[in-house]
Amino acid sequence: MRDRAGELSRRRVLQTAAGTAAAATAGAFATGTAAAQDEGDGGEGVPAEYDGWFTGDARGGEVQNYDGTTVDRTGESEVTVTVGADGNGGTFAFEPPALRVSPGTTVTFEWVSDTHNVVVESQPDGAGWEGHDPIEDSGFTFSSTFETEGVYTYLCEPHLSLGMKGAIVVGAAPAGSGGGGSGGEGVPAEYGNWFTGDARGGEVQNYDGTTADQTGQSEVTVTVGADGNGGTFAFEPPALRVSPGTTVTFEWVSDTHNVLVESQPDGAGWEGHEPIEDTGFSFSHTFETEGTYTYLCEPHLSLGMKGAIVVGAAPAGGDGEPAGPTGDGGSPPFWVTGLAGGILVALLAPIVVSYYRYWDRDGRSTGGAAGRGAGIPADEPVPEAAEPEAVEEIGHDEYDPMGTAALIVVYALILLVLWVFMYFVEFLGNGPTVIG
Amino acid sequence: MEIHRFEKLWLVAALLLIVAFIGTIVYGALGAGVAMVDDSGGTVDPDDPTASDNFREPGVYTTDDGDVEVYVIARQYLFSPGSTEPIQVPANTEVTFYVTSGDVTHGFNLAGTNVNTMVIPGQVAEITVEFDETGDHHIVCHEYCGVGHHDMRGTVDVVPQSQFEVSDE
């Protein structure tokens, strides 16, 4: 969103170059990956579907150390999960957050920082995993053997809001599913200037340069009219990556929005939803054709209510995301410049005015005719004005400053009211109070 | 030095106000019985508070004379007990909270009331409260204790004496 034209084109060149290189690498490895996935998987397999468990939509915060991949440790009899590893803004992560093991594997949970527990959120029917409810500190370990196939999700209660959540998939992966980054060349997340103010409509302020990766899930939800862009004028997530065949449901959470398709890959037939709908409405579309789809909300286009969906796996070796911060972010908005200028002028004004006055007085006293009384020759001193006569003289005690006295009385009354209110009403009246 | 009679008036009024302020504090302490949190709770080993004689396993206890004692350990980012399960205490009974921290400095405040103390590792904050009304009070941590500080909260559930059951003995 802070793209400057030059930077954008430079990045696109880099992305294209990286994409090409990555495609070549991915192609070379594609055969090997596919073979590894097929190995030992005759049956139906267990897909790594977490139903949004790693997002902020589930209980607790978003799991920031989950990058969309499930660590495959199938075929090993003993696997370790680190509890309290670095991540989620501190030592608040399960490492790996998503893990795939074979049935019968013993998973050991190892505490490497303090104040964590393992509470089971969900598990397959018939499984009896209990986790470890008591809060333990660094050095503690416990092991569980997972027999029942399926997806187990768990969390750390003290740090749930920070996103300390994990999942274990027991069972082989389904044939043909790539747990992210499947074979092929991949689709880079390139939106051109769609999210900037250079394209139709306003700048998409709720787009932070990242594409939400929801590949591997069969159903994904996009919120229409979420908070953002100065009101409830955002698609959430604004940029989304899904696998081909994913059904994306658009859910209205505020009023007066529609979904108009701006661009889509050749051969794709997405129609969006042109009629304007209100809260509670939803529609779904299954995206089959790989490529980048852009869409917008017509009523709020000028506010930046735009979105994009990338269908297909990310290119190996990067999602085409901007690498690192995008430079200095360009010039600040107009109002910042205006405000800063105003403050500067206000600060300088006294200096300028006093200089002017000084110069002016100077001019007067050094004989400028303008400052002199009319009719006085230039070489004669200007006579001083006569002091006015006192009308009536009064002594020190005869003068009564009634106005000042009234002001002080008013101040004292305000003080009195504040005192009574603060101590007797706010403090003593706010029971219960500490009595010992 | 000559002082105007008006000035004399408001000098006296200002002095009276200061005397009244001090009088209020004295009244609060002696008349209304407002106490300050002091170091009477003693100290504990911050790494293992329950190992010390003056701190018990976190929980709610009753004493021989019918009062209630609540031992709470604050950790990043929960009150134990308090966060995962509410602290249940009876109304119209003297309840003494013993609060300490297992990691960093926390706060312990029943939102909207004067029940308010800092929770310092190694130091037991001892505060005695009598709840006149039943209902929930929210505990908030009001000392920044880390990235999850905003989510560190708990509940004190004040129930009628007849419904109060001691969970720990």
pLDDT given for residue A290 in this prediction:
87
Strand, helix or coil for residue A86: strand
Strands A150-155 and A165-170: antiparallel
Asked if B4 is an interface residue toward chain A (Cβ–Cβ < 8 A), one would say yes
Q: Which residues of A touch B (CB under 8 A)?
A: 89-90, 92, 114-115, 135, 157-159, 161-162, 396-397, 400-401, 404-405, 408, 412, 415-416, 419, 423, 427-428, 430-436
pLDDT given for residue A168 in this prediction:
92
Residue range A339-384, pLDDT digits in tens: 999 999 999 999 998 888 877 665 555 544 445 555 666 677 777 7
Q: How far is B51 from chain A (nearest CA, A)?
A: 16
Strands A219-228 and A246-252: parallel
The residue-averaged pLDDT of A173-196 equals: 66
Q: How far is A215 from chain B (nearest CA, A)?
A: 29
- Does A417 score more than 90 pLDDT? yes
User: Can you state the percent helix, strand and coil of chain B, rounding each to 5?
Assistant: 25, 35, 45
Residue range B4-52, pLDDT digits in tens: 888 888 899 899 989 999 998 898 888 878 888 888 888 888 888 888 8
Report the chain A residue with the minimal C-alpha distance to residue B110. Answer: A432
Burial of A53 (0-12, 13-18, 19+ CB in 10 A): buried
Q: How many CB pairs under 8 A join A and B?
A: 103
Report the chain B residue with the minimal C-alpha distance to residue A430. Answer: B113
Buried b (16+ CB within 10 A) or exposed e, A204-217: bbbbeeebbbbbbb
pLDDT given for residue A167 in this prediction:
92
DSSP bridge pairs for A252: A224
Buried b (16+ CB within 10 A) or exposed e, B111-122: eebbbbbbbbbe
Q: Show the tokens assigned to A38.
A: 């097929």
- Does A295 score more than 90 pLDDT? yes
pTM greater than the 0.80 cutoff: no
pLDDT band per the 50, 70, 90 thresholds, residue A152 = very high
Alpha-carbon distance A400 to A54, whole Å? 76
Which residues on A lie below 8 Å from B84 (Cβ)? 157
The residue-averaged pLDDT of A61-72 equals: 85
pLDDT given for residue A365 in this prediction:
54
Map tokens 């081909």 to a residue.
A244
pLDDT given for residue A67 in this prediction:
84
Which of A419, A428, A436 has its CB closest to that of B32?
Answer: A428
Which residues on A lie below 8 Å from B4 (Cβ)? 396-397, 401
Alpha-carbon distance B108 to B95, whole Å? 15
- Does A37 score more than 50 pLDDT? no
The residue-averaged pLDDT of A96-112 equals: 91
Q: Cβ distance A293 to A268 under 8 Å?
A: yes
Which residues on B lie below 8 Å from A432 (Cβ)? 110, 113-115, 129-132
Alpha-carbon distance B83 to B102, whole Å? 15
Report the chain B residue with the minimal C-alpha distance to residue A87. Answer: B147
pLDDT given for residue A40 in this prediction:
40
Suggest the residue from A59, A164, A433 to mutate for an interface test with chain B (most B CBs closer than 10 A): A433
Report the chain A residue with the minimal C-alpha distance to residue B98. Answer: A436
The residue-averaged pLDDT of A95-115 equals: 90
Q: Show the tokens assigned to B2.
A: 């000559």
Which of B36, B78, B132 has its CB closest to that of A158?
Answer: B78
Q: How far is B34 from chain A (nearest CA, A)?
A: 5
pLDDT given for residue A29 in this prediction:
40
pLDDT given for residue A180 in this prediction:
41
Q: Cβ distance A378 to A372 under 8 Å?
A: yes
The residue-averaged pLDDT of B106-112 equals: 91
Alpha-carbon distance A249 to A231, whole Å? 22
pLDDT given for residue A324 in this prediction:
40
- For A108, A279, A408, A417, A419, the CA distances from A411, given in Å and listed in that order, are 70, 53, 5, 10, 12
Alpha-carbon distance A149 to A147, whole Å? 6
The answer to whether A427 contacts B114, with C-beta atoms less than 8 Å apart, is yes
Higher local confidence (pLDDT), A200 or A246: A246
- Does A260 score more than 80 pLDDT? yes
Report the chain A residue with the minimal C-alpha distance to residue B78. Answer: A158
Q: In what order do the strands lie in the sheet with A165-170?
A: A71-72, A98-101, A165-170, A150-155, A116-122, A132-136
- Spatial neighbors of A304 by CB under 8 A, at least 6 apart, are A197, A201, A202, A203, A204, A205, A206, A229, A233, A234
pLDDT band per the 50, 70, 90 thresholds, residue B119 = very high
Which of B80, B83, B130 has its CB closest to that of A432?
Answer: B130
Strand, helix or coil for residue A316: coil
Buried b (16+ CB within 10 A) or exposed e, B59-79: bbbeeeeeebbbbbbbbbbbb
Lowest mean pLDDT among A112-121, A412-421, B73-82, B113-122: B73-82
Strand, helix or coil for residue A84: strand
* CA B21 to centroid of chain Cα atoms: 24
* CA A6 to centroid of chain Cα atoms: 26
